[in-house]
Structure 1
C-alpha cells in the first residue's frame, strides 16, 4: 500500500513565468520523481514528495526563498520542529553559482544536503566553506582545457573574447588568458558586456557602450568569438547583435563559441533571437544522454490536469494563449485548450531533448533516492524497519545522516551511465560540445559533435568530429580560418617582433641544414645524422653512403692504371731477369734493382687497398703498407745514388772509400732507412691506429665512408719521413749528376726525385682540402704518378736499350772513357765492376 508522502525534496529554480525554456528543469525533476516513486525496488512502500520554489534569479531571492522554505511555510519558528508530518531531506539548487553560495551559507548551519545542478564555479569545490554541497556537474576548470583544445584542433589563433561585467567574467578572463598565451592563441579584442537593468533604454552611456561593442564585432577580422556569461549578463550582447542585424541589415556572422553558463537560444523577449548570427554556433554543455520515456512524458502534460508550479503561467507564455475565464475579457486572444503540444514550440522557446542541467537534475533525484534506500537498508536500521516499516522510519531520520551514504552511492541510471559522487562531493561526467543549427523560422537543431570526457584516458579526453559540424552559411561549409597572419608553410619558422602579439609574426625560411615539418613551426630543427633536408626544407631525406668504389668511373680508371703499372713493372722485371747477363744489366747493382722493382710493384698494388668500402683491415694497412713500401723504393734509389758516388770515388788511387763498395753498403742503406719508417708505422699502429668511420657532416646529402687516420700527427710524420728520403735522394743525385754518363743514373734519379717531390709537395695542401672519395683519389693519383715516375725515369731508358737498341747493350758501348773533370779519366768498366761486384 502506497502511503502519503513523508519526505520532501525541494527544487529551487528561476522564475518560470519569465523564461519558459528553463521550465524544462521542472519537468525533468517531476519526471524523475515519478520514476522513483513507481520503482518497486527503490524505497518500496514509500513515496517521495517535493516542493518547487522560486529564487528570483538573484542572491537576495535565493536567501529569502530558503528562509521561507525552512521556516515560514512549515509554520515552525527557527530552530524548532513542531511534529509536522513533512520533513525536508535534501535541496536541489541553484542554477547559478551566486545562488548556490547564498543557499549554502544557510543550509550549512543545519547540515542539509544541497545539490547544485548548474553551478560550475571552482570556489564551490572548497569543502572548508561548502562541506555539505554536492555538485552534479563538473567544475569549470576542465572547460578551459576544452576551449583551448577546440581552438587548437581547428587552428584558430586569432579570436575575439566577450565576458560578462561581473566577478565571474573577471575570473574567466584572468584564468583563460595565460592558457591561451601558452598555446600561442591571441585575442583580437576583449569586450566586457554590461548587465542590462530595468532602465537601460534611458541610459545613454549604456547604449553607447552597446553600440561600440556592435561596431567592434562587425569590424573585427577574427572569425571566431568566444563568449562567457549567463542569461542576464548576455542579454546586452544579444541586443547589440539585434541592432546590427535590423538597423544595418547585416547580421554579424561568426563562429560563436559559447561556454556552458549561457544558452544563447534561451531568450526573455521573443523578438531578441537572431538565428542568422548564431547559426553554426559551437557550445559547451553539461553532459546529457537520452532518457527513455522523457519525451513521451512531456507530450502527456496538460495544464488543466497538472498542479505543477506555475504550469499555467508557463503555458500562457509558451503558447501565447489565455485560460478561461480571463480570455473572455480580451478580444481576438487565443484560448488555452490544454491540448497544445510542447513538441510544436520552436526551439528557442522550448526543446524536447533533455538539456545538461535537466539531466543533472534527473541524476540528482536518483542519487538522493539511492542514498535514502542505502541508509534504510543498513544493518543498524533493520530492527526499526521491521517494527515500524520504511515509511514510518523515514520520519525518524535526519538530513545530516544522509551524507555518509551519499559519498558511497554508485548505480547505473536508465540511460546506462554509471552515477557516483567522488570524494570531493562531485559527479564529473564532463562536457558535450554541441553544434546548433538555426533556421529562419527560429527553430533550431542541435548536433552532438564532440565530448570532453573527464573519465577517459588523457589522449582521448577531448574528441571532436569536425566533419559533422555545420558552419554558418557565410563560410559555405568550408572550415573557417581565424588567424592574425597567414600560416607559415613547412620549411619556414615564425619570427615574432617585439611589441606585437605572438600570433602576428613573419615567416622566414629555415637556415641551412634545418627543416620544419609542420605549419607555423616555432623552431626549425636538424635532421638526424643519417638524413638531410630537401630543397623545400620540409622533410628529411636519407643520405646515401659514398666511397671510392669499383662500380664508378673514377674507381675503374684508377684501378686500371694501377693494374697497368703493375703489369708494366712485371714486364720490366721479366726483361731485366732475362737479360741479366748483358753488359748494361751487369753495370747495375742487381740486388738494388730487384728491391726497387719489387717495392714499386707493391706501391702499384697499394691503390687496391684504397678502392672499395673501408674496412678495419684495409684502414690499418693502406697507409702503413704504402709508407713502408714507398720508403723501401726511395731508400733503394738513395742507395743506388750513394753507391754510384762511392764507386767513382773508390777508383781513385789511394781513396779509402773502396772498402765501402759492394752489396754491404747498398743493403745497409736500404735496411736502415726502411727500418726507421717501419718503426714510425709501428708506433702509429700501437698508439692511435686508423679505423673505419662514417662522416655524417662533411657533405649535406652524403655519408662518407672513410678511414680515420687515428693520429694525424703520426700520419704527417710518416709522410714527412718519405719526403725527407726523397729530398735526400734528390740532393745526392743532383750532386752526382756530372759523373760519367755511360751508365751513370744520377741525372735520371735527379729527374725522378724532382718529379716525385713535386707531386707530393702538391699533395700536402690538396689532400686536406678535399673530402670523401676525392681525397682518396688524390692520394691514389699521387701514389701512381710518383711510382710511375720512378719506374719510368730509372728503368725505361735501360728497357729501351735492352728491347729496342740491343746493339748498344755491348761491352764496347759500356766500356768507354768519360771525363769526370778536365784532368781525371777512368775506366768505366772498372766502375761497373765495382758497382756490381765490389772491389776488383
Structure 2
C-alpha cells in the first residue's frame, strides 16, 4: 500500500513537470518547402524531388542535410493545385467566411527516410517561443499526401496515434482501406482492388490468356499485383512470369527486363509505381525492346514526360487505366504567374531575397519550370488534390459553425478527431460538377478512363481515351471499350495475340500439357462419335445413339442407314442374276411346254416338272424381296416366301425322286406299286409337304414375326437397317424343315442313282441335292458371321445358288437332248435295255 502511494505521488510530480516545461526541438528543424500562415493550417507532403543524396554517416562529425535533385513534375503540380485550392477557398464568401487557411508543404524527395522526417516536421510546426508549452495538440488540422502508397503507409502510421486526418490524392493500395489500422486515413481516389479487377477484365475482354506481370516491390505494387493475380486465376488467365523490382535495385531491374525480353507472353501487365516505371522505360529504351503490349495503371499511364520518341518505340500503343481528367478552371494561368509571384519563396529577379532567408540555390530546378505548362492538361491527380482540400474546408466549415452572415467562430478549438468524424460525413459537389464523399473505407468511387498511347498525323504523342470503367455500374456494364480506336503495340491496327496455346477449333478438345499452366494445352481431335461445337472445348460430347459425328467433328449428323438397295452395285448384280434365273426358268418352261409330247418330257413327269419350274420361278422372285429398305411387310414376306417356295420346290424334287423309285419298282414282275403313287398322290404329297411349311410360317408370324430393326452393334458410325427374325426358333424351324426335306430327297435320289436307265433322273436329282445341301450348309456360318447388308447378300446368294443348282442339274440335260440331240429323244433310247415304263 505504501509503494502504491509512492508511485502515485511520483507520477503526479512528473506529469506536473511536463506540463510546465517549454517545448524544445531536438536537432535541426526541418522547414517546409512552401508555406503560408493562416487561422487554420493544412499540411502537405509530396515527393517534389525524386532523388536524394545521402550524406556521410561516419559519425565523426554532425551529418549534413540531405540533398534532393531531379524534379518530380507530377508532385510539384500537386503542391501547386493544393495552394491554388486554398487560395480559392480563402477568397470564397460562402466557404469558411472570414477564416484563412494556411499551408505547410514538405518535400520528401521520394525517400522513405525523408518521408518520416517530413511527417515529424509537419506535425511539430515551427520553432517555439520561451513561453510555449507542450500541450500535445498538433499545429494543423489535416495533411494532404502522400502520393505513393508506401510513403502514405508511413505517414498514416505516424499520424495515427494523434488522430490527424490524412487525405491522399493518389495512394491506392488496398491495404490502406483497413479502418482498424488506418482509422484517420481518407483518399479522393479509389483503392486498387477495383483497378486490379479492371486489369483482369480488360485482359479477359481482349482474349489474352497468357500474360507477363511486373510490379513495384512496395505496398502499392505488391498488393495490387496480388489482387490481380488472384482475379486473373479466377478468370482463367495464366501468368507466364510475375517479377518485381524497387527503384534502388538496378541489378534486379536489369534481370526483370531480361525476363521480359525472353518471355513468350506478348502482353505485360505493369502494376508499377510512378518512379519505378520511369526506370523500367529507360531500360527498355536502352535495349531497344519493342513489340510488347503494355497494360498499365493510373500511376504512370498518363505521365506526359514519359512519352518520348525513344519510350514510344518501346511502349507505343500502351493501354491502361487513368484517373478521370477534370479541367480545373484558372489553374493553368495560376501556375504561370500568380504562383511564382505569391506562393513561391524565391525569384530569379535580382535583389529579391527569400522571405525565409534561405539559399535560393535549392530552388534552381523548380525555377526552370516557371514558364512550362504543357503537362497541365494531363494532370489527372490535380482534381483529387482539389477535392481533398475542399473536403477539409467543408469539415472545418461545419466544425466552426460557419454562417454566411455571421462568419465562423474562430475561438473554437478543433481537435483532429473532430475533423476525422466531420470528413466521414462530407457530401458536396465541386464547381466542376463532381460529387465528393467518402465510403466506409475512406475511399472514393472507382471511376477510370481507359487511355491509349498514340501518335497523331503531326507526330505528336497523346493519351487517347478509348473507354471507361465505372465500378458504380452493374457488373456487365462497368467496362466499356471502343476497340476500333485503339492503336496497338508497334503501331499495329490489329489486336496482338498473347496465348500460350492457340485456341482449339470446334472438333477438338483441350488437353493440358503436363507440368505447365492450364493455358498451355494441346488440341486433341474428338474421337469418332464425339463432337465439340465450340472453341476451346474442355471435353467432347457424345452424339446421341442414332447420330454420328461429321468429318469435322463439330456436329452430330444422322447415322447412315445401311441396307442392300437396288441402286448399289451388289444389289444390281443380285437383281440381274435373279431376273436371269427367272428368264431361263421361263424359257425352259416354254421349251418343255412346246415339247410336252416328246418322250423325254413324258418320261420325267411333266406335271411335276412344270410345278418345279413354277416353284423355281418363285424362288428367284423371292430373292428380290430381300433387296430394298426393310419394312414391316417386306420383313414378314421375305422369310415366309423363301420358306414356302423352297419347300414347294423341294417337295416337287422329292416327288420326282419317289416317282423314279416307284417306277423302277413297277417294272419288276408282279409289282403294282405305281397305283399307290400316281398323279393324285404326287400332287397330294406336294400339297401336304408345303402346307406343313405354311403352318410353321403362320405360327411364326402369329407368335413373333420378323420386323424392321436398326442394328447398331456391328458399326458405331452407321445403322444397319435389317429384318429382325422376331422368333429365331421360327426361322430355324423353317430352315430346318427345308433341310429335312432336302436331306430326305438326297438320300432317296442317292439310292436310285444307279438305276439301269440311259437317262437316269435320280442321278441328276442327286447332283442337284448335293449342290443344294452344300450351299445351305455353308450358308449357316456365313449368315451368322456376315455383318449388315452382307448378311442379306449371303442369304440371296444361297437362294440363287441353290435355285440355279436345281435348275441346271435337273433341266439342263433334258434341254441338251431336246435342242442338240433330238435323235435321242425317243422312247427306246430313254428306256435302254429296260422294259417300257408307263407313268
Q: Same fold (TM over 0.5)?
A: yes
1:789 alignment counterpart: 805
Map 1:68-87 → 2, pairs under 5 A = none
**1:140 is the counterpart of 2:193:** yes
**Cα distance, 1:352 vs. partner?**
0.8
Q: 1:81-133 CA distances to partner (integer Å, 9 max, x unpaired)?
A: 9xx9x987xx8765444455566668888999876654444445556666786
2:300 alignment counterpart: 263
2:272 alignment counterpart: 229
Aligned partners of 2:508 and 2:531 also within 8 Å: yes
Distance 2:91 2:585 in 1: 114
Q: 1:202-258 CA distances to partner (integer Å, 9 max, x unpaired)?
A: xxxx5554555555555666655443331344455355446xx2xxxx423241524
1:531 alignment counterpart: 549
Task: Please point out which of 307, 311, 321 is paired with 1:285.
Answer: 321
Task: Note closer, same or farther for the CA distance 1:400–1:426 as it changes in structure 2 (3 Å cut).
Answer: closer
1:251 alignment counterpart: 288
Distance 1:174 1:272 in 2: 31
Task: Note closer, same or farther for the CA distance 1:324–1:732 as it changes in structure 2 (3 Å cut).
Answer: farther
Task: Please point out which of 817, 828, 840 is paired with 2:837.
Answer: 828
Task: Please point out which of 596, 604, 627 is paired with 2:620.
Answer: 604
Task: Note closer, same or farther for the CA distance 1:370–1:267 as it changes in structure 2 (3 Å cut).
Answer: closer
Task: Please point out which of 195, 199, 214 is paired with 1:162.
Answer: 214
Aligned partners of 2:106 and 2:118 also within 8 Å: yes
2:246 alignment counterpart: 194
**Cα distance, 1:446 vs. partner?**
1.6
Map 1:292-311 → 2, pairs under 5 A = 294=327, 297-306=330-339
Distance 2:179 2:734 in 1: 84
Distance 2:519 2:804 in 1: 69
Distance 1:615 1:372 in 2: 96
Distance 1:469 1:583 in 2: 106
**1:707 is the counterpart of 2:760:** no
Distance 1:109 1:49 in 2: 24
Aligned partners of 1:484 and 1:503 also within 8 Å: yes
1:724 alignment counterpart: 739
Task: Note closer, same or farther for the CA distance 1:281–1:815 as it changes in structure 2 (3 Å cut).
Answer: closer
2:708 alignment counterpart: 691
Distance 1:410 1:697 in 2: 80
**Cα distance, 1:436 vs. partner?**
1.8
Map 1:615-626 → 2, pairs under 5 A = 615-619=631-635, 621-623=637-639, 625-626=641-642
1:748 alignment counterpart: 764
Distance 1:371 1:651 in 2: 144
Query: SS of 1:162's equivalent?
Result: strand
TM-score (norm 1): 0.66
Distance 2:100 2:833 in 1: 143
Task: Note closer, same or farther for the CA distance 1:599–1:211 as it changes in structure 2 (3 Å cut).
Answer: same
Distance 1:770 1:418 in 2: 84
Distance 1:451 1:472 in 2: 20
Map 1:37-56 → 2, pairs under 5 A = 56=108
Distance 1:655 1:304 in 2: 153
TM-score (norm 2): 0.66
Aligned partners of 2:277 and 2:300 also within 8 Å: no
Map 1:551-590 → 2, pairs under 5 A = 551-566=567-582, 569=585
Aligned partners of 1:613 and 1:705 also within 8 Å: no
Query: SS of 2:753's equivalent?
Result: coil
Q: 1:734-785 CA distances to partner (integer Å, 9 max, x unpaired)?
A: 3443345577643333333333344445555555766565554454444334
Distance 1:573 1:372 in 2: 127
Distance 2:594 2:406 in 1: 133
Distance 1:33 1:643 in 2: 137
2:690 alignment counterpart: 670
Aligned partners of 1:163 and 1:191 also within 8 Å: yes
Task: Note closer, same or farther for the CA distance 1:95–1:590 as it changes in structure 2 (3 Å cut).
Answer: farther
Aligned partners of 1:488 and 1:521 also within 8 Å: yes
Query: SS of 1:734's equivalent?
Result: helix
**Cα distance, 1:263 vs. partner?**
0.6
Task: Note closer, same or farther for the CA distance 1:440–1:753 as it changes in structure 2 (3 Å cut).
Answer: same
Query: SS of 1:352's equivalent?
Result: helix
Query: SS of 1:755's equivalent?
Result: helix
Q: 1:313-359 CA distances to partner (integer Å, 9 max, x unpaired)?
A: 8xx9xxxx9466569999xx9997999462xx3xxxx251363x556
Query: SS of 1:305's equivalent?
Result: helix
Task: Note closer, same or farther for the CA distance 1:552–1:371 as it changes in structure 2 (3 Å cut).
Answer: farther
**Cα distance, 1:19 vs. partner?**
1.9
Query: SS of 1:533's equivalent?
Result: coil
Distance 1:651 1:340 in 2: 148
Distance 1:752 1:71 in 2: 129
Distance 2:672 2:102 in 1: 141
**Cα distance, 1:485 vs. partner?**
8.4
**Cα distance, 1:552 vs. partner?**
4.6
Task: Note closer, same or farther for the CA distance 1:322–1:783 as it changes in structure 2 (3 Å cut).
Answer: farther
Query: SS of 1:140's equivalent?
Result: helix
Q: 1:627-662 CA distances to partner (integer Å, 9 max, x unpaired)?
A: 454455445544554565466567766899985772
Distance 2:299 2:731 in 1: 82
Aligned partners of 2:304 and 2:378 also within 8 Å: no
User: Alignment RMSD, CA only?
Assistant: 6.4
Distance 2:118 2:96 in 1: 31
Distance 2:672 2:630 in 1: 55
Query: SS of 1:301's equivalent?
Result: helix
Number of residue-to-residue matches in the alignment: 757
Aligned partners of 2:46 and 2:146 also within 8 Å: yes
2:206 alignment counterpart: 153
Distance 2:289 2:803 in 1: 88
Task: Note closer, same or farther for the CA distance 1:167–1:673 as it changes in structure 2 (3 Å cut).
Answer: same
Map 1:180-579 → 2, pairs under 5 A = 183=236, 185=238, 187=240, 190-196=242-248, 206-213=249-256, 223-234=266-277, 236-238=279-281, 240-241=283-284, 245=286, 250-255=287-292, 257-260=294-297, 262-263=299-300, 266=303, 274-276=310-312, 278-286=314-322, 288=324, 291=326, 294=327, 297-306=330-339, 312=344, 322=348, 340=371, 342=373, 345=374, 350-353=375-378, 355=380, 357=381, 429=446, 431-437=448-454, 444-449=461-466, 468-473=485-490, 529-533=547-551, 547-566=563-582, 569=585
Which structure has the greater CA radius of gyration? 2
Q: 1:672-720 CA distances to partner (integer Å, 9 max, x unpaired)?
A: 34544554565553xxx543438598386xx456226376966984686
Distance 1:600 1:364 in 2: 110
What stretches of structure 1 of length at least 5 have no aligned partner? 197-205, 377-383, 820-825, 833-840
